Structure 1
């Protein structure tokens, strides 16, 4: 069993209120997409409220949605995001969300069994925006190997981790 899992946060700036006709298709697909994530190989945990989603959790402001989850590894998350039914929603994101000029997604390693909170995630995103990718906070394009993997295979980079080419298409 791996000692670390991959945590991810992504945020999205709403173009209209969640209850608006413009976001109706997005809202109608939330339950289905969340169920697909939970059934995906490598899925560990996702942030959700009593309603089963995270749309009411707004730590970045009223117009910003958050999605936060934990996966076994970078490849599992990448496969879910870019190779499955989730891609149909990803292709339509400009219908529902404004383009964010800064980083809108951050990845980081957590000890297996740890479920991060939004404060921890916000700190990682801020670090990525201010400092760029590192072992502390990174992206698909410049993924960082898990600490236990980097230490065991001799690919040690800064802080005992190594970067590898991104997985995102």
Structure 2
């Protein structure tokens, strides 16, 4: 059965290593969000670095998720002291579960504060796509799909929740949002 891959990417206003209260707050909220999402129905897995510390994204061992990668438009640092980004890569059973996890509860509260922490870049900050049940998406896959979404808009290869597609490539709706299509939950 196909699984939904979800890649998120944002450029932070300050480096991850910044000791300022806003950066600490972002981490505290982020860790609580990860714990909550990890228990959400439909959640399968997310990329986690083996023994990674704050800011150790580029040097970390991500296992089957591959080498860490970022979109071409990211132009900030790549060292522990200068990295100013937040990215996630996760797998879900379906669109509805992922949508609900992102747009309700603690994650929704964090989204409401995103402009406290993230720059407005003019680029998409997430992308979804379907994978086979035996495939682990890589960071490079996520970057490629996000860049494709930016260049071509939502298509079955790379889409958003609001303009989503079912695994067979037909337009899909999530709880009434998005273009007319089959109900997906």
Task: Report how far residue 48 of structure 1 moved.
Answer: 1.1
Structure 1 residue 92 displacement after superposition? 0.8
Task: Say which is worse superposed, 27-36 or 71-80, in terms of deviation.
Answer: 27-36
Once the two structures are superposed, residues 106-158 of structure 1 have per-residue CA deviations (whole angstroms, 9 ceiling, x without a partner) of 100001132211111111111111111111111011010122xxxxxxxxxxx
For residues 71 and 96 of structure 1, do their structure 2 counterparts lie closer, same or farther at Cα, with a shift above 3 Å needed?
same
Q: Is the 8 A contact 2:130 2:167 kept in 1?
A: yes
**In the aligned structure 1, how far is the partner of 2:167 from the partner of 2:174?**
14
Secondary structure at the counterpart of residue 48 of structure 1: coil
Partner in structure 2 of residue 86 of structure 1:
107
What is the root-mean-square deviation of aligned Cα atoms in Å? 2.1
Cross-structure match for 1:139 = 160
Shift of 1:103: 1.4
- Structure 1's unaligned 5+ residue stretches are 148-160
Q: Is the 8 A contact 2:17 2:55 kept in 1?
A: no
Structure 2 counterparts to residues 72-151 of structure 1, below 5 A = 72-147=93-168
Q: How far did residue 69 of structure 1 move?
A: 0.5
User: What are structure 2's unaligned runs of at least 5 residues?
Assistant: 59-68, 75-82, 179-185
Which residue number in structure 1 is paired with residue 66 of structure 2? none
Say how many residue pairs are matched: 154
Partners of 2:39 and 2:136 lie apart in 1 by 18
Deviates more, 1:60-69 or 1:126-135: 60-69
The equivalent position to 1:162 in structure 2, one of 154, 170, 185, is 170
